[in-house]
């Protein structure tokens, strides 16, 4: 990119101690719109370890005052942030689409989800912070007192760049912690925009800090600093394992929301139309790039042919286009690395003998487009069955009994989300009891969630307390058991 071209796009800075700062070395990186190969929509700071350490310094200093603010004071700041977020819905949705690729309708939904979750945490914090305990003796009073941890590192993903950031950051702030936030390199604009809203909400200097850059350059600095008492991270299982190892040196508290290979079981008594709709929504929304997406569909043999015919027809009708278009059903995948990895997985599935029934046509070469893709004749030893592809690719297997279906679904190192379609209550209960996943859905797609329910996986899909619900706040506090006589 030439100097003249760089001057045409805006350059965004880091937010450190209430000031917008350039990185110490003056280096920046580009942000590509995945619908337009070779484009650049803005420049962002390629931060150095020293930039990050400064952010940790000021967050550590700010914590001494912030931790003593009252819950109502913190609520006022977050309420103002949510008001600004609601006002900015359309602008932020456009930014998410431009840098992530998802459709503008999906981006609006992401903002709406953040508003719902943020309002939930805002309303539950007052009751959460005080808990009385049973008194074994009349002259002894007992209660549990919660204390904030200190500096929290928030490392958010590119697939839901503002919703996940909000789900992590708001509970951290409401419980009295300060934050050092690193947005994903694919989607820094969404993160910086959220930082701007928090600044506008009037947060005191140093309470929230935002630094952009490569995870390999600055992520480790956040994870390894002993002053950072907790890390909340969403991303791949591979990276999550490395973060856990590095953080273990300081016994840093970890909340890791990682990969998934989520299965949808469709029984012979299921409503086929609804089940196909669920597979398409969770399989192809955000181009299949969400951790709770449906990537395996397990079909009862008696309905497999009908289901596949209906799903294939739906895939063929989907309009895969620039997500900024109101008529797009699916946008591009998030960038060149995603495109290459997903394309390689599709080629591997073909070579392994899986049968391609949807997605044969190439996407628009102007961007990183991949058509909704479905494979049948999949066996459990194939990578398309076992590996997280993180794209619009569904692997289909057939079964004869529910026991076989549950065994197939559990045949994975992952255990994040799952789903089942049936009209039989006994079958539903057997699935709920037997599935090895943090989320179990019956007659609902695998991506559905509510803020009052815990969000996290088992096996290699996560570690630490889940996000959302009460645990979403518990992660950010220490508990003190108090005994008082007198």
Q: What is the pLDDT of residues 207-223, one digit of tens each?
A: 999 999 988 889 999 99
User: Of 341, 36, 59, which is closest to residue 182 (Cα–Cα)?
Assistant: 59
What Rg do the C-alpha atoms of the chain give, in angstroms?
23
Closest to 418 in 3D by CA, of 408, 428, 409: 409
How many helices (H) and strands (E) in the chain? 16, 23
Q: In Å, how far from its chain's centre is CA 264?
A: 20
Catalytic residue among 106, 257, 388, 398: 257
From CA 251, how far away is CA 342, in angstroms rounded?
Answer: 36
The rounded distance, in Å, linking the Cα atoms of 201 and 199 is 5
Q: Tens digit of pLDDT per residue, the chain (486 long)?
A: 444 455 589 999 999 999 999 999 999 999 999 999 999 999 999 999 999 999 999 999 999 999 999 999 999 999 999 999 999 999 999 999 999 999 999 999 999 999 999 999 999 998 898 655 555 556 788 888 999 999 999 999 999 999 999 999 999 999 999 999 999 999 999 999 999 999 999 999 999 999 999 888 899 999 999 999 999 999 999 999 999 999 999 999 999 999 999 999 999 999 999 999 999 999 999 999 999 999 999 999 999 999 999 999 999 999 999 999 999 999 999 999 999 999 999 999 999 999 999 998 888 899 999 999 999 999 999 999 999 999 999 999 999 999 999 999 999 999 999 999 999 999 999 999 999 999 999 999 999 999 999 999 999 999 999 999 999 999 999 999 989 987
- Dihedral, CA of residue 406, residue 288, residue 211 and residue 226, to nearest 10: 10
Backbone dihedral angles phi then psi of residue 119, each to the nearest 5 degrees: -65, -35
**CB 456 within 8 Å of CB 291:** no
Distance CA 364, CA 296 (A): 26
Catalytic residue among 32, 106, 199, 291: 291
**Chain centre to alpha carbon of residue 83:** 22
Model confidence, pTM: 0.95
CA distances from 262 to 124, 159, 178, 235, 345 (A): 30, 16, 34, 16, 17
Residues 466, 470, 475, 481: is their CA dihedral positive or negative?
negative
Which residues, including other chains, have CB under 8 Å from residue 149's CB and lie 6 or more apart? 177, 229, 230, 253, 476, 477, 478
Percent of the chain with pLDDT over 70: 97
Active site residue 397: no
Separation CA 427–CA 76 (nearest Å): 47
Spatial CB neighbours of 42, under 8 Å, sequence gap ≥ 6: 9, 10, 11, 12, 30, 31, 189
> Known catalytic residue: 210?
no
Are the CB atoms for 462 and 438 separated by under 8 Å? Answer: yes
Element (H, E) at 471: helix 471-474
């Amino acid at each position: 990119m030439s100097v003249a071209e760089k001057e045409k796009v805006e350059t965004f800075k880091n937010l450190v101690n209430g000031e917008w700062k350039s990185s110490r070395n003056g280096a920046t990186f580009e942000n590509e719109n995945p619908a337009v190969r070779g484009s650049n929509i803005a420049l962002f700071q390629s931060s150095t370890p020293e930039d990050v350490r400064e952010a940790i310094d000021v967050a550590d200093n700010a914590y001494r005052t912030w931790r003593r603010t009252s819950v109502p004071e913190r609520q006022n700041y977050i309420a103002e942030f949510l008001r600004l977020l609601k006002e900015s819905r359309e602008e932020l949705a456009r930014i998410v689409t431009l840098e992530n690729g998802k459709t503008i309708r999906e981006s609006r939904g992401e903002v709406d989800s953040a508003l719902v979750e943020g309002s939930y945490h805002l309303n539950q914090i007052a009751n959460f912070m005080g808990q009385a305990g049973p008194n074994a003796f009349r002259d002894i009073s007992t209660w549990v007192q919660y204390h904030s941890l200190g500096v929290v590192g928030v490392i958010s993903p590119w697939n839901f760049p503002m919703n996940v950031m909000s789900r992590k950051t708001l509970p951290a702030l409401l419980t009295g912690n300060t934050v050092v936030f690193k947005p994903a390199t694919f989607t820094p604009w969404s993160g910086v925009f959220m930082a701007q809203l928090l600044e506008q909400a009037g947060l005191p200097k140093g309470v929230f800090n935002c630094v952009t850059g490569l995870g390999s350059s600055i992520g480790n600095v956040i994870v390894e600093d002993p002053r950072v008492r907790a890390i909340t991270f969403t991303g791949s299982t591979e990276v999550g394992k490395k973060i856990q190892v590095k953080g273990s040196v300081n016994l840093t508290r970890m909340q890791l929301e990682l990969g998934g290979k989520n299965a949808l079981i469709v029984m012979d008594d299921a409503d086929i139309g609804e089940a196909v709709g669920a597979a398409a929504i969770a399989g192809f929304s955000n181009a299949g790039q969400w951790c709770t997406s449906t990537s395996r569909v397990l079909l009862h043999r008696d309905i497999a042919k009908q289901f596949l015919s209906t799903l294939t027809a739906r895939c063929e009708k989907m309009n895969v286009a620039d997500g900024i278009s109101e008529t797009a059903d699916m946008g591009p995948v998030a960038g060149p690395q995603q495109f290459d990895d997903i394309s390689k997985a599709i080629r591997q599935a073909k070579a392994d003998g899986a049968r391609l029934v949807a997605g044969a046509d190439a996407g628009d070469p102007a961007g990183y487009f991949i058509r909704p893709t479905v494979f049948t004749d999949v066996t459990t030893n194939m990578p398309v069955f076992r590996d997280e592809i993180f794209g619009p690719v569904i692997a289909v297997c057939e079964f004869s009994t529910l026991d076989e279906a549950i065994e197939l679904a559990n045949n994975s190192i992952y255990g994040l989300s799952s789903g089942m379609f049936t009209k039989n209550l006994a079958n539903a209960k057997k699935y709920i009891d037997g599935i090895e996943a943090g989320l179990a859905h019956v007659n609902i797609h695998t991506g559905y969630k509510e803020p009052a329910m815990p969000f996290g996986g088992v096996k290699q899909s996560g570690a630490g307390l889940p996000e959302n619900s009460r645990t979403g706040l518990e992660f950010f506090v220490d508990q003190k058991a108090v005994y008082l006589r007198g």
